[in-house]
Amino acid sequence: MDSPKNWEFDGFLKIGDSFLKLISEQVFFPFHKHFQEYPITTALIFSVFILIGITAFLLLYVIYLRLKIDRYQNLKVRKFVNWKKNILPLILDNVDISTFLKTFLKTIKKGDYEMFGEFITPYLNDTKGDSLERMIKILREIGVVKRERYHLKHSNSTWRRALAVRRLGAFKDSFSIEALVKALHDKDITVAVNAAGALLKMGDRQLLKTVISVLLRNKFITEELFAEALLKFERTLNLEIFLSQEIDRYPISSRFKIINLILQITRTESGPKLIIRLRNSKEAVGVILENEDLAEELLDEIILKYKNSEFIDLEKILSKKEKVYPVSSRIKMIDFIGYIRRVEGIPVLIDILKKSKNDEETISIIKALGNLEAAESAPLLVDHLESEHPVIRAQAAKALGVFKDEKAAKPISRLLEDRDWWCRYHAASSIHQMGEAGKICLQNFLKITKDPFAKGIITQFLSKPQ
């Protein structure tokens, strides 16, 4: 019988053999004979040895990595403690820059600047006023700002550019504006959104316009990222963010309500949080809140400023024809206006709602009008209860519920027997919000309806406290 040991040489491996022989002659000269005799076996042996080599290298690399990371972490802890103790007080105290620089250069080596950037950034985010300006001046002096600017302009790494943009935003470095505006057009959305955030942190009105315009033209930036960037514009938004997040359902136009609520809240658990947030603003809100006697007067002033502030531009943009901004961009703005409760936007939104033929835009406007508690839009919303689109019907019912207008109960109640579950749900929920009149309306409907789905949803809401 044939020896089975040479089974590797037959058939389809011939081409492979020739190739390997060629390689053995050219590359593995010392093993030439082995390759000639047992090419596959020798190749396999080589492969396994290469694998062993790679594995051994990776094993050493893991150990190296662990040691390196441990060392870096320990070093970081030590240095951060040291800098917190010796450097931070010097930055915050009114020590002149030359004295500071002497101590700084003694304590921090050039190789530590990257780590120092990491150390100082959170403090920059939490510091305002003179201390912040001083910190930034020092960072400029020691070249940290320049270093980040260099990375933004020249780094090929997306990550490093995104990080540089973030840090420059924290440094509020006005010399970097040009580079940051350029970064708004970066093909990586993290860099673009970070650049928008960085520019908006500087609080410049002109920059806001530029940011909005560039971000809206970038189809890869979702409305969530758009809003995330815009909310970094602290100067006028602090109050609105607060009102939207902390005080639910209070229209911005009701000044006395706001004042009373803010004054009440400052005495409750949320108070410290609010005071910290408002104090961080360049506006004088923090001061106002600390002095209750002045509160009403000054808050009035702030609200007046706010009414005339930059975000009116959003409405101007919205008024333009669709050619300028596509529907997707318009939806981003509508969502944002609804979220920050720009009451000045109501007439514009109503006007667009009358003309809009796009379902997505219609839904977005109805949501925004609900958020804005725009009671004047009620007749138009009642018309939309008849829409063919179930989401429009449901959102119209939901928005009408916010106004708590008993007159809307009857048209809404028609949706209790709607074929769409959300329409039924929002109809019942809205009527339920109308207090005693709503309850009676639901009870009456329960008596006459034969629809089991309507019965179910009404029973659910009638069992809930109002």
User: Whose Cβ is closer to another protein: residue 104's or residue 424's?
Assistant: 424
- The yes or no reply on residue 421 touching another protein (CB under 8 A) is yes
Question: In terms of CB distance, is 54 or 75 closer to another protein?
Answer: 54
Q: Which of 19, 31, 61, 150 binds another protein (CB under 8 A)?
A: 61
CB of 357 to another protein, least distance (A): 22
Among residues 22, 23, 27, 62, which is the contact residue for another protein, using CB under 8 A? 62
* Residue count, binding to another protein (CB under 8 A): 58
Is 157 a binder of another protein (CB under 8 A)? yes
The reply to whether 456 sits near another protein by the rule CB under 8 A is: yes
459: contact with another protein by CB under 8 A: yes
* Minimum CB–partner distance for residue 69 and another protein (Å): 6
Q: Which segment (54-62, 99-107, 355-363, 374-382) binds another protein by CB under 8 A?
A: 54-62
Tell me which residue of 148, 192, 141, 143 sits closest to 170, measured CA to CA. 148
How far is it, in rounded angstroms, from Cα 34 to Cα 323? 73
Per-residue binder mask for another protein (CB under 8 A), 327-346, x = binder = ------------x-------
Among 150, 159, 175, 256, binds another protein (CB under 8 A): 159
Q: Does position 443 bind another protein by CB under 8 A?
A: no
Q: Does 22 bind another protein (CB under 8 A)?
A: no
- The token pair that represents 174 in the structure block: 């006005």
Q: Is 312 in the site for another protein (CB under 8 A)?
A: no
Residue 236 as a binder of another protein (CB under 8 A): the answer is no
Does 304 help bind another protein (rule: CB under 8 A)? no
- 58 vs 75, beta carbon nearer another protein: 58
- Segment 170-189, which members bind another protein (CB under 8 A)? 189
Measured from the CB atom, the residue of 111 and 452 that comes closer to another protein is 452
Residues that bind another protein (CB under 8 A): 1-2, 4-5, 7-8, 10, 41, 44-45, 47-48, 51-52, 54-55, 58-59, 61-62, 65-66, 69-70, 125, 157-159, 162-163, 166, 189-191, 194, 197, 220, 222-225, 227-228, 231-232, 241, 244-245, 339, 421-422, 425, 453, 456-457, 459-460, 463
